[in-house]
Chain A
Amino acid sequence: MTEPTITPEIVRKHGLTDEEYRQIQQILGREPNITELGIFSVMWSEHCSYKNTRKLLKSFPTRSERVLVAAGEENAGILDIGDGVAIAFKIESHNHPSAVEPFQGAATGVGGILRDIFTMGARPICAMNSLRFGSLDSAEVRRLFRGVVSGIAHYGNCFGVPTIAGEVCFDRSYEGNPLVNAFALGALYTDQIARGAARGVGNPVFYVGPATGRDGLAGAAFASQDLTEESAEQQRGAVQVGDPFMEKLVMEACLELLATGAVAGIQDMGAAGLTCSTCETASRAGTGIEIELDLVPQRAPGMSSYEIMLSESQERMLIIVHKGREEEVRKVFEKWDLPWSRVGEVTDTGQMVVRHHGEIVADISACRLADEAPLYDRESREPEYLTKTRSLSVDQIPDLKPDEIGGALEACLAWPTIASKNWVYRQYDHMVRNGSVVLPGSDAAVIRIKQDSMPVLPNGEVRDFPEKFVAMTVDGNGIYTYLDPYEGGKIAVAEAVRNIAASGATAIGVTDNLNFGNPHNPELFFQLEQAIAGMSEACRHFGIPVTGGNVSLYNQSPNGAIDPTPVVGAVGIFESRDHIVTQWLKKEGNVLILVEPSEWDADPWFGLGGAAFTLMRHRIKAGRPSPCNLDRESLVHRAVRQWIADGLVQASHDCSDGGLLVAVAEMAVSGMVARNHPQLLGVSLDLNSAGATSGLRTDSLLFGELQSRIIIEVAPDAVEQLTDGIPAGVVSRRIGVVGGGRLDLSIDTSHVASWDLNSLHHRWWNAIAEKMDA
């Protein structure tokens, strides 16, 4: 077989710089061959090496007393949730593949994140996702949206994991470059944690799962470059094809196999496939690994060593088995009718050695390949556009007139980013596994962990533990981050934690997905650097570790970069199942209370900077997001959680997209999704007593997005108890009474608008379906 000679042109096509190439020569002590060049290019892509972001990511707090596996150690972080039970969770992007082939791109994104979870020895028990698209008025965007949602549904539903929550936003900046961030969470006993390490010299290395094909060649490298029309067309072959049925079998087999104790190390073949799994496992264990490519099951004839090493065919695992226990492994694979092969063994050389057709085709130091990718300090410069967005004054945009209020709320509720996402989540099985306690449509979803949520134990052992309840949410705001990268990052964390608190739980960890543009552009790098700093400050403030995550750069289409979008997946635990609170209204006669800080930092835009309302009505991204004071934010969370624990709170909802009026309307219209008692309950809202916002512009009062606010519903006789025990720094304002079939609004005691709830519900519920059917 003739091998291409390495030319500067080939090096460049692999996305490697001259300096990086020199470093490769130095590590090898010679010229690389084409297979080795390919191996370096994928391992040193941003996707695998974080070479542009690793230094920034170091600022995240990664430890707490609950952390059993910290960020960066393994495929997913693990937190202790008590009674011998732990959870593993992580979020990961599949943006570029989804832009090119939405169905398979999104499906394999789900497949990849599920593998990251069961690789840790955990049983995946639920999934979430965060999606962003351009405007639904574009037929191409509708095609992408439809494809992504059905791809996620296809994979999660067949695998058998409930897709229990998520967020979907629509904004023109994502046109041509949608964001698809998939989250998965799994449960395991604390003594079941599996490691991705090739331990034990002489141990055999097994390959399990479907045969390797040419699909997904070098997907990791593809994810690490700008998306252009040309690249999208050329790279269609870089999108993998998923088989959730196969992955379900692989998962069950792996969990059974781990219970035997025969496994020394395990890692999935995700990004960079066989390359990444072999060198990383060897590097973690400080060993070497030798594999024979002729033994790797292959789907296509005549595959080169380059293709086999770089293929990203899905649902494959690498398993290192204790020598002498191969028979146990064979039995499990055969029970599940899975293809498997012994492909190599662990060595003491520290080298990753790959043989093919009797020749050595790669011989590279495993740890230098896996851990010594170049790290860069990129140039950072405050973007010029900020001068423009900050030069505008809120006075330049006209306030709402009283007779426009009615239409404004209706428009907000039908705005796709705010409208009900039932068109999306009804395509996801969100109830399989009998653990979905709070379904999509509330501030946070709640999952129950019971005995059958856990991986199988050795010899049929059964362990009792009290049922656990875990809250989770995924949040981010690209416009905030565009207008103020630091504050946007901070608010992404604060809002996620607020959602957890409003549901009655305490946040214990977050996973982050950083979706940004090309890091070589100093203005885009500035966004990344600032957002990470803001997120880091918020995590430290709340005392919550980042347990892992994903960085997706180069998110730009021919139209330009996306709005910088840090997405935060937060997870919280409940002290008691009695503390689980949902957002919809419960009972006629109850009182609505707005809980907010007693003092505010100056906000010249009165909550309208970057607000959904401002964008929707005036079509501008201007000003700055309302600042979030983390001390006051915490006080509000603590107060609400305490009242929930005291049994005073019947419903609870945070104010976010669309502000106060939208939040109240959502509490009313979302009652139809309450599974035990679907109903529509109206509200008489009277905002004259909303002190912090009184005297403001009407649009700001109704739709301004001030931070740190939560609305709660309490019984009339609980109001006094609540106000008596209110902690310093927090105020509770009575803003309305529950009841009737309408939403009535008064401002300063004069009645200004009234809506029929059925019609509001209809607009909110059907808005996305109507766009999709258009």
Chain B
Amino acid sequence: MKFVVLQFPGSNCDQDCFHVIRNVLGCSVSYVWHKDTSLGETDAVIVPGGFSYGDYLRSGAIAKCSPVMSAVHDFASQGGLVLGICNGFQILTETGLLPGALVRNRDLQFVCEHVYLRVEQESSAFTGASRTGDLIRCPIAHMDGCYYIDSDGLRELRANNQVLWTYTDRDGAATPASNPNGSIHNIAGVCNRAGNVAGLMPHPERAAEDILGEESGLAVFKSMLAFHQSGKAFNAASSAS
């Protein structure tokens, strides 16, 4: 399986994703520069974390206009797998590839700590290597990570099983105390209606190696690999958010 990792000016988790995909997952991976208009041959796109364009204007708002994002749009509308992590999630909501928005954290501070994520459904391309209810422990590191969506949108997310990960405590309960940023319904990550584009604020790529004390985040990447290997594909027509 072949991945590409996008590089915007200000991306700073690009190397971490690259490292995990190549050296831990064992897949082929290359970078795509923000000024490029083509993604080249690839099976999946990672939109990494960081501060694309310095978070000027609004997190992810300027990256939305970069040349490479048209290519990502085309790739997604043809059913390609796209995963946005942290700033990548912000970019994907800004571009409209994912529903909802990410706003300033509840306590107005940048927050970096480990959280528990509960896998909400195991049938997605990004969670297939887990079982529903499994816990992933991985770090968050963001200022604008509070997920918001209006009530109609929320109903739709629920109806279509688009909530993939929820913040919980270590026992898997989604409590107010285990919600690190004020996200609505403790939502940590979602996918589009078709299921081929997903985003999450936490950093699974930082919890994918024994030396870093936590490997459960690797499940996200393994899921993408397993989905690809299964030969399943998304119907191009249904791949709009």
Contacts and interface: CB of A to CB of B under 8 A. Distances in A.
Interface of A: 150, 153-154, 157-160, 243-246, 248-249, 336-337, 422, 425-434, 436-437, 448, 450, 452, 577, 674-676, 678
A245 B56 contact: yes
A249 B110 contact: no
A472 to B, nearest CB: 17
B144 to A, nearest CB: 12
Contacts of B143: 157
B12 A160 contact: yes
B13 A243 contact: no
A157 B141 contact: yes
Interface in B101-152: 109-114, 139, 141, 143
Nearest to A453: B15
B193 interface: no
B53 interface: yes
A431 B112 contact: yes
5 contacts: A154-B110, A157-B141, A245-B10, A437-B212, A450-B19
A433 B16 contact: yes
Interface string B20-39: 10000000000000000000
A422 B13 CA distance: 23
A434 B213 contact: no
Given A157-B141, A675-B213, A245 B53 contact: yes
Contact of B212 (A154, A427, A434): A434
Contacts of A158: 10, 12, 51, 54-55
A186 to B, nearest CB: 15
B30 to A, nearest CB: 12
Contacts of B51: 157-158, 160, 244-245, 248
B159 interface: no
Nearest to A428: B112
Contacts of B112: 157, 425-431
A336 B9 CA distance: 8
A427 B109 CA distance: 7
Interface stretch (B90-98, B203-211, B223-231, B233-241): B203-211
A427 B111 contact: yes
B50 A426 contact: no
Contacts of B13: 160, 432
A18 to B, nearest CB: 47
Nearest to A434: B16
Contacts of B209: 434
A337 B67 CA distance: 15
A432 B211 contact: no
A434 B113 contact: no
Nearest to A154: B110
A244 B12 contact: no
A678 B170 CA distance: 10
B214 interface: yes
B133 to A, nearest CB: 20
A332 to B, nearest CB: 13
Given A426-B113, A433-B12, 4 more contacts: A150-B110, A160-B51, A431-B141, A432-B12
B206 A431 contact: yes
Contacts of B167: none
B3 interface: no
Nearest to A580: B211
A248 B53 CA distance: 10
Among A246, A248, A336, A337, the most chain B Cβ lie within 10 Å of the Cβ of: A248
B169 to A, nearest CB: 12
B18 interface: yes
A667 B180 CA distance: 26
A448 B113 CA distance: 19
A676 B213 contact: yes
A150 B110 CA distance: 8
Contact of A153 (B110, B205, B213): B110
Given A158-B55, A426-B111, A429-B112, A436 B15 contact: no
B19 A434 contact: yes
Contacts of B170: 678
Given A244-B54, A245-B10, A245-B56, A434 B20 contact: yes
B50 A577 contact: no
A757 B206 CA distance: 30
Nearest to A582: B213
Contacts of B213: 437, 674-676
Nearest to B20: A434
A450 B23 CA distance: 11
A337 B214 CA distance: 38
B19 A452 contact: yes
A426 B214 CA distance: 18
Given A243-B54, A245-B56, A448 B214 contact: no
Nearest to B209: A434
B215 to A, nearest CB: 9
Contacts of A674: 213
Contact of A437 (B19, B110, B141, B211): B211
Contacts of A422: 113
Contacts of B53: 245
Contacts of A336: 9
Contacts of B15: 433-434, 452
Nearest to A769: B107
